[in-house]
Chains A and B, each alone.
Chain A
């Protein structure tokens, strides 16, 4: 691509992204804008997990824990629960930092583990965090247990609260619209961070470690530090997404941070194209939007063809989803949009 064409693509996508919530909001309704907001959150999460799984090659099945840490940090620092109301520009970075610390906390004991063993420990870690959130309401009530934390402060920039619809020059600006722009800005930040890391000394070290840990250490790479850095940086973006989620929803409970969520994020990374940033973004968007489309389609479709509900739409949705994953993994295991390197790895693996 030459520079002019690149600039053209950039401007075109900037315009599309800028008007997207209004176009979608006025044609499909604001619930779809909300879905897009969630897609952006998942892009951030998937890019964070991609650092750990895609770049460094460490299988992490408990990634949602960092999302939870970010969300709970934000919620505890901005809700009537403790009656603390810190501004978001303090509590989001704090949440990200806490998540990164938890990343180190998880990373340290699993330094020697890889593959399946690592997956099992990280899975356990994810569950431990969730169970802690569920039970830390006694003897001192920290997380409010299964009831969760309610009335979390919306994000406030200057005098502008993102929790209420405002009127800008006759335009009704909904919370979903405002959050969209905030999420978009931060997603762009995370994308830039991921790109820059990938093409850096650190990114190279991750790939080297993924390909051959012994050779990497014989080349002087400090495997321990490189692994911990991957866990911490991955967790960092998970923490940012978590804080945003808490303020966007206004309510969080341990239920939102289950194993299924971890698996969904991993599926986004794998299905999109592990280690390839555009692929991972695509994976996150598709896996957030597709279930919503299915939700809207399956019910009416059954009513239309059979005149009654045969399969509960929620079950059918998961069924189709699972089927799609299986087919995808059988026919295109490298993902929807893999990097050249990853594609080559899969081709070499096939050749044996």
Chain B
């Protein structure tokens, strides 16, 4: 039995009358690539926002790596080891690629205002370490050649990679990617897949939301399917794809 990294149970999230998440449970094991799929409006992104602290769930339990993160604010969640990217890329557009990744190091560094003003030895060394680590991550995702470009000017595929590098800078145990392949051509998608496998092989658990079912089936170790805020299936891809409830959710009742 693999070691459970993330364990959420009985999560509810309501927006007024909309029950966006209804009693959802997820267990993600250490070292796997875990996929979350579902039709539009199924609650995938809501789940993501709950997992990363942007939304506070109404009920449930949320433990990660032995820590209770129920209703924890985002910076605590990130410190705990969950990092994310966004469906509609949210980079710091006027900062360079390098600076974007350096912001990701914030949580893992500690120089305060006084250290910065006095430019103490500790602060200088830390700053150099931040920059070195940022370079390393840009190389890791393969975009170090555009390190000094403003994020806005990067190509779409590079922006996606930069977001991943920025998230990795926080040293996550779980990297949560919200539709990373959206809008990519087959070649870019294939490269992205390679990158995700590399990340997993380097010891980071990956949680993935994606519309591209084919990509998910080939990449994920396990998949959960959400529909109308409920988890309707969970398991290895081969089983999930044959589940009648999943087929119904995606294609309508007539096809099942």
Contacts and interface: CB of A to CB of B under 8 A. Distances in A.
A167 interface: no
B116 A207 contact: no
B127 A219 contact: no
A116 interface: no
A208 B84 contact: no
Contacts of B106: 201, 204-205, 208, 219-221
Given A196-B119, A200-B123, A204-B106, A220 B111 contact: no
Contacts of B116: 196-197, 200-203
B92 to A, nearest CB: 4
Interface residues of B, number: 42
B79 interface: yes
A207 B111 CA distance: 16
A234 to B, nearest CB: 11
Contacts of B75: 217, 220-223
Contacts of A83: none
Nearest to B123: A200
Interface stretch (B95-103, B192-200, B222-230, B231-239): B95-103
A200 B107 contact: no
B94 A214 contact: no
A348 B113 CA distance: 31
B249 interface: no
A227 B93 CA distance: 20
Interface string B100-124: 0011111101011101110100010
A204 B54 contact: no
A233 interface: yes
Interface residues of A, number: 30
Contacts of B93: 211-212, 348
Contacts of A14: none
Nearest to B111: A201
A202 B102 CA distance: 11
Contacts of B73: 217
Interface in A73-106: none
Contact of A216 (B53, B103, B109, B115): B103
B6 interface: no
A113 B106 CA distance: 24
B150 interface: yes
A292 interface: no
Contact of B113 (A208, A217, A222, A233): A233
A205 B103 CA distance: 6
A341 interface: yes
B180 interface: no
B90 A212 contact: yes
**Residue picked from B79, B93, B166, most chain A C-beta under 10 Å:** B93
A218 interface: yes
Contacts of B103: 204-205, 208, 216, 219, 221
A197 to B, nearest CB: 5
Contacts of B170: 219-220
Interface of A: 192-193, 196-197, 200-205, 207-208, 211-212, 214-223, 229, 233, 341, 344-345, 348
The 5 closest A-B pairs by CB, nearest first: A220-B78, A220-B107, A200-B116, A215-B90, A217-B74
Interface of B: 52-54, 73-75, 78-79, 83-84, 86, 90-95, 99, 102-107, 109, 111-113, 115-117, 119, 123, 126-127, 130, 150, 152, 166-167, 169-170
